[in-house]
Amino acid sequence: MLATFLVAVALACAPQVQAYAFPDCVNGPLANTTVCNTSASPSARAKALIAMFTTSDLISNTVNSSPGVARLGLPAYNWWSEALHGVAGSPGVSFAPSGDFSFATSFPEPILMGAAFDDEMIKAIATVISTEMRAFNNAGRAGLDAFTPNINPFRDPRWGRGQETPGEDPFHISQYVFNLIQGLQGGIDPPLFKLVADCKHFAGYDLENWMGNNRMSFNAIISQQDLAEFYLPMFQTCVRDAKVGSVMCSYNAVNGVPSCADTFLLQTILRDFWGFDDDRWVTSDCDAIANFIDHKFSPDLPHAAATGINAGTDIDCGSTYGNNLAAAVSLGLVNVSSIARAVTRQYTSLIRLGYFDPPASQPFRQLKFSDVNTPNAQQLAYEIAVEGIVLLKNDGTLPLSKSIKKLAFIGPWANATTQMQGNYQGTAPFLISPFAASQEAGFTSTFTPGTKINSADTTGFAAAIAAAKAADAIVFGGGIDDSIEAEGMDRNTIVWPGNQLDLVGQLAALGKPLVVLQFGGGQVDSSALKSNSTVNALLWGGYPGQSGGTAVMDILIGKVSPAGRLPTTQYPANYVNEVPMTDMSVRPSSTNPGRTYKWFTGTPVFEFGTGLSFTTFSLAFTGSPKASYNIQTLVAAGASAAHLDLAPFATFSVSVHNTGKVASDFVSLLFMNTTAGPSPFPKKELVSYVRTKNVGAGQTATANLPVTLGAIARVGDDGSASLYPGDYTLLLDVPTAVTFHFSLTGTQAQITNWPAAS
């Protein structure tokens, strides 16, 4: 997707849908035609509609801002709506200046929602988002599809868009998106879609503009092993298992072919291997078709347009198709039937959304503004912020002592409002900053910025120090924001920007209780804060959304105990000097220390899965886990599964005993390592997780952790996964609290057959 400033340009320059309308199947030109016959199949209805299109009609409706067909009473429709963490401003979404539909619930960015490791909560939040977007659509203010979610794994901490993702781990992202899609679309492949979601960016996209390497022309060199094991598992889950309605191909090339021109990605893998059928469509990222020229893959725009359609990119988010397909047809570069296939896929999707059906028969058509930002939605926005916030360090200062009455809030995030939303945001109904939340909690608080996010100016230090001296405790809010990490802009360093740490150092020297709040999607090296004993506590809060300040404050005062876990690795600052962003390999080598917690050979500042609590837990495997499993027996038992990689291996039960004095949630993270299969071997990899809610002081809960065959399989050089005989270890929690050893016996068995690249 385009950067925020480019979106503004698009809004100003591109043809816009001012208000959405529905076709009139009672009195309009389409009445009594097959497309309005609700007893016909979606495919038959779409084909009947497209048969009425002229070639000019087909071409004009291949772009995101589709004009419809006036003579058929077919309204205009904009396919580019956004709903990453709430209904969001975009060419297809319009907020009213005031009153009804002037706002929508603003949830935290996905990076913080992912830190909750609470998949049921993700489904509930997605259900709210789809409800609100339907209400906006009924008012003519949003489309029925959303260009969300972004599920590219957060491979490199410098990436400007990592905040949009759930984190770095493929298994975690896969579980997240499986639940998210159900909430957005109304289930797994329901007969009537609630919304059509769009999994992006397919594939290998995680670079914006780094050292002259621009996403519009970057060629990502990725092995089939890394594609199958790291870059694509979440897309497989989204497409094959959650049955998403659309996919967005990315700006970059993969192994020399632009993603939106890549038949291996768009046909061999997406449609043939994963079963992405003709009820579903592929859209380009915005202007990615025109970027074929930047890749030096197409000589001109007519060739680019033809290449995109022929490869299976059905919608051009842009104008290249609309302006150049006629020339491509006349040159014999593309057949009209291929264009008709693309448009048929689009309208099949709209038919499954009830676009042509009587509104009285559709519950989603009854939703209105009273269904937006309901008390339930507000509570979910607060709860997921609380659940995702991660306590990285605490010497006992938190929760704050009841004797503390005066707080000094200092730093560029301490009074954040819109800053808390991150990117791809809508207009929030309210935004509660940490400073404001402290006042609501009854503290006598002051706010002094002290410095900006990325500034060398120290003139604000004196006022900050004075405010701190007058307080009982100090809360510094800083980190990074969209001025540092953004679409179109990667980072070159992962240090705290500007002079924020200098100010923290001076505050720490005062000897008062000092809590540091670190915000932002990408991690920064907090080694200095971790090692400084006068920095008493450190929390990471991502971009926490409309109730972010309340969530932070409720943790500071101990109203709730933190239980979030870091969804990414926090690397030392020198990591950026050890491997270029352009190196897409994840395994360690002589020029690469390895990527993510699975492969990084160095010592992280805070590792993936780190997260402290205000209480303590004792963990133990319960029952009698088997110490040995036969591969052939496992494969035979899994034969009835929809896919062998989803067949169950075992469910491990864990006793979660709260040995402390306060109730708390607990996230059980189950990892595995082995030296079976192809080398090198990952340090460990996540195979299951679950969040157990509200374990009371002194109480014991049971966490059940199901593990599939795919989770314990290893991926070979060709991308295929197999079960290998050998010794395996399960590792529970971060840092590891309990281990369990088991072995696989028998002979190697392949459980997936990765397609061969052409």
217 lies in a domain?
Answer: no
324 lies in a domain?
Answer: no
Residues 142, 20: contact at Cβ < 8 Å? yes
Residues 527 and 409 placed together within one structural domain of the fold = yes
Q: Which residues are bridge partners to 390 per DSSP?
A: 540
Encoded amino acid at 285, one letter? D
Residues 440 and 352 placed together within one structural domain of the fold = no
611 lies in a domain?
Answer: no
Residues 593 and 627 placed together within one structural domain of the fold = no
Q: What is the pLDDT of residues 455-464, one digit of tens each?
A: 999 999 999 9
What is the arithmetic mean of pLDDT over 501-528? 98
What is the arithmetic mean of pLDDT over 158-180? 98
Residues 241, 287: contact at Cβ < 8 Å? no
The CATH number linked to 441 is 3.40.50.1700
Q: Any idea which of 10-14, 583-587, 613-617 has the lowest mean pLDDT?
A: 10-14
Q: Would you state the pLDDT for residue 10? A: 34
Residues 557 and 621 placed together within one structural domain of the fold = no
Check pLDDT > 70 for residue 109: yes
Q: How many other CB atoms are there within 10 angstroms of residue 688's CB atom?
A: 25
Angstrom CA distances, 747 to 94, 493, 634, 644, 726, stand at 59, 47, 11, 16, 10
Strands 648-658 and 537-542, bridge-based pairing: unpaired
Last residue of a domain, one of 353, 371, 389: 371
The CATH number linked to 269 is 3.20.20.300
Please report, for the chain, how many H helices and E strands are present, in that order.
Answer: 22, 27
Q: What are phi and psi of 445, to 5 degrees?
A: -125, 150
Residue range(s) defining the domain that contains residue 551: 375-599
Residues 582 and 477 placed together within one structural domain of the fold = yes
Give percent of the chain with pLDDT exceeding 90: 97
Residues 468 and 413 placed together within one structural domain of the fold = yes
- Gap between the Cα atoms of 400 and 5, Å rounded: 41
295 lies in a domain?
Answer: no
Q: How many other CB atoms are there within 10 angstroms of residue 84's CB atom?
A: 24
Check pLDDT > 60 for residue 440: yes
Q: Would you state the pLDDT for residue 19? A: 79
Residues 582 and 636 placed together within one structural domain of the fold = no
Q: Please, which pLDDT band fits residue 398 given cuts at 50, 70 and 90? A: very high
- Active-site amino acid positions: 285
Closest CA to 176 of 57, 85, 55: 85
Threshold 0.85, pTM exceeds: yes
Residue with tokens 């975690």: 172
Residues 196, 246: contact at Cβ < 8 Å? yes
Domain count, the chain: 3
323 lies in a domain?
Answer: no
The CATH number linked to 641 is 2.60.40.10
Residues 637 and 569 placed together within one structural domain of the fold = no
Q: Please, which pLDDT band fits residue 4 given cuts at 50, 70 and 90? A: very low
Q: Please, which pLDDT band fits residue 391 given cuts at 50, 70 and 90? A: very high
What is the arithmetic mean of pLDDT over 110-121? 98
Closest CA to 517 of 544, 538, 542: 538
Average pLDDT score, the chain: 96
Residues 386 and 346 placed together within one structural domain of the fold = no
What is the arithmetic mean of pLDDT over 629-644? 97
Residues 270 and 389 placed together within one structural domain of the fold = no
Closest CA to 424 of 176, 148, 151: 148
Check pLDDT > 90 for residue 9: no
Last residue of a domain, one of 552, 567, 599: 599
Q: Would you state the pLDDT for residue 353? A: 98
Check pLDDT > 90 for residue 236: yes
671 lies in a domain?
Answer: yes
Residues 580 and 639 placed together within one structural domain of the fold = no
Residues 458 and 489 placed together within one structural domain of the fold = yes
Q: Would you state the pLDDT for residue 724? A: 98
Residue with tokens 């347009």: 305
456 lies in a domain?
Answer: yes
